[in-house]
Amino acid sequence: MMKKILYFLGLLAVAVAAAFGANKWLGGFENPGYVLIGIGHWSLETSLIVFAVTLIISFFVFYVFFRLLGWLFRLPGRIKNRGKDVKFNRSQEALIVGLVDSAEGNWEKAEKVLIKHASHSGAPLIHYLTAARAAQSRGAFDKRDEYLQKAADQAPGSDVAIGLTQAELHLSGKQFDQALETLTRLHSIDPTHASVLKLLHQAYQHVGDWEGIRKLIPSLNNNKVLMEAEIKLLETEAFSELLKLASERGDVAEIEKLWSEIPDYIQSVPGVSAIYFAAMIDAGAGAKIEDALTRALSIHWDQTLLVLFGSVQTVDVDRQLEMAEQWLTLYPRDAVLLSVLGKLSLKCSDSQKAENYLSKSIAIEPTVQAYQLLGDLLASQGNVNKACQLYKSALELASSAIVSRIDSISE
């Protein structure tokens, strides 16, 4: 306002100075001249000095008049814009207050202040999305969905941003089916969006959709969503779970097909190969993997694989026992190997050898299975008392293991 007053006074000073200058300049002539204006039967005659001064003052008056007139015409718009600016500034302040309240856990307060000023904000999307998170945090799922819908209405070109927020809220609220529905739609819009891929991977893990994760792994890798080590770990977990599911169905063809699709670096992981071998054995196709299991044990000595070797439905038990006895020269004090040898000896109907192997296994490291196998053998030979002692030892060992597990969990 002060600038406008100074501007007006400046113009007035210029007009007065111009009139004074014109008067002084024209007054310096001996005959300053005159001006005659005729309109029809009317005429106006005046001195040149008066005309010049009047012209300067008139110009100033008309200039000020039209400027004032223009200002009056623009006044309603300025008042309206002024109101908008005030509302906009309030909405910006409300956004900051809402974000602070949300960060401090004042969910209901944050929600109210954000929604109140959302319609006047330059960023209504942030208001509604933050309010939706606040509503989710206080358990108001209906309000959350309402704010998300308003966000979609206010910002129709922000489908991915709104969808990601919606999916995150569904995941945190354990609404996994809804999260998957939203993320699947977003994935169809932008198949390479890193955040969509990451949340989709999490949603698949929550619902146990390992086939979905398996199909998603190439995208996770190509778009650098996870580190290489994380990708391999996820890939190993996915194929392990798929093998377990195939094992539960007991379909040998399905198990073999899945195994053929698993990359070599995943197949070489002992835990994964153990799941495959166990699945084939459970499906009654142990003879098909006997050679592969033998090679695996020759490359990497693993007691889990060794137990599976002893459970293979082989067509030649004698050959199987002979192979295991060759390993005994390398691992003479392996209690698990001795127990497996005892089990295979029983299959070969060699009671003496079985009793010898099982006794050695128990002497090195007692196990429930070794006690049970030796007890069954002695019971079949009529040595009931000794068999009962072995069964009792097996029960004590099993119960001790259970108690130890309970203690470890309670700690």
- Residue at 93 is within a domain: no
Question: What is the overall mean pLDDT for the chain?
Answer: 80
CATH number at residue 394: 1.25.40.10
CA 287, CA 183: separation in Å to the nearest integer? 44
Is the confidence at residue 344, as pLDDT, over 60?
yes
| CB-CB contact of 373 with 342 (8 Å) | yes
Is the confidence at residue 192, as pLDDT, over 80?
yes
- Residue at 14 is within a domain: no
Q: In which band, very low, low, confident or very high, does the pLDDT at 161 lie, cut at 50, 70 and 90? A: confident
| CB-CB contact of 218 with 234 (8 Å) | no
The predicted model gives 25-29 an average pLDDT of 56
Tell me which residue of 306, 400, 313, 305 sits closest to 361, measured CA to CA.
306
- Residue at 362 is within a domain: yes
Give the SS3 label for residue 190: coil
DSSP state of 38: E
* pTM, two decimal places: 0.66
CA 31, CA 141: separation in Å to the nearest integer? 94
Strand partners, 43: 38
pLDDT score, position 314 = 87
Strand partners, 39: 42
Q: Which amino acid is at 234?
A: L
| CB-CB contact of 17 with 43 (8 Å) | no
- How does pLDDT run across 252-276, given as a tens digit for each residue? 999 999 999 999 889 888 789 999 9
What are 273's two structure tokens?
């190969």
- Residue at 354 is within a domain: yes
Is the confidence at residue 397, as pLDDT, over 60?
yes
- Residue at 363 is within a domain: yes
Highest mean pLDDT (candidates 45-59, 78-92, 253-267): 253-267
What are 153's two structure tokens?
């209405």
Question: Which backbone phi and psi does 193 adopt, to 5 degrees?
Answer: -70, 120
| CB-CB contact of 358 with 364 (8 Å) | no
Residues in the chain: 411
Domain enclosing residue 404, as ranges? 334-411
The alpha-helical segments, DSSP class H, found in 208-282 are 210-222, 228-249, 252-261, 264-267, 270-282
- Residue at 53 is within a domain: no
| CB-CB contact of 224 with 218 (8 Å) | no
- Residue at 349 is within a domain: yes
Strand partners, 37: 44
| CB-CB contact of 86 with 122 (8 Å) | no
- How does pLDDT run across 206-219, given as a tens digit for each residue? 999 999 999 999 99
The predicted model gives 136-145 an average pLDDT of 78
Is the confidence at residue 62, as pLDDT, over 80?
no
CB count, 10 Å around CB of 278?
A: 20
Q: In which band, very low, low, confident or very high, does the pLDDT at 83 lie, cut at 50, 70 and 90? A: very low
pLDDT score, position 33 = 63
CA 277, CA 359: separation in Å to the nearest integer? 28
Distance of CA 271 to the CA centre of its chain: 28
What are 267's two structure tokens?
């197949």
Number of independent structural domains in the chain: 1
Q: In which band, very low, low, confident or very high, does the pLDDT at 410 lie, cut at 50, 70 and 90? A: very low
- Residue at 301 is within a domain: no
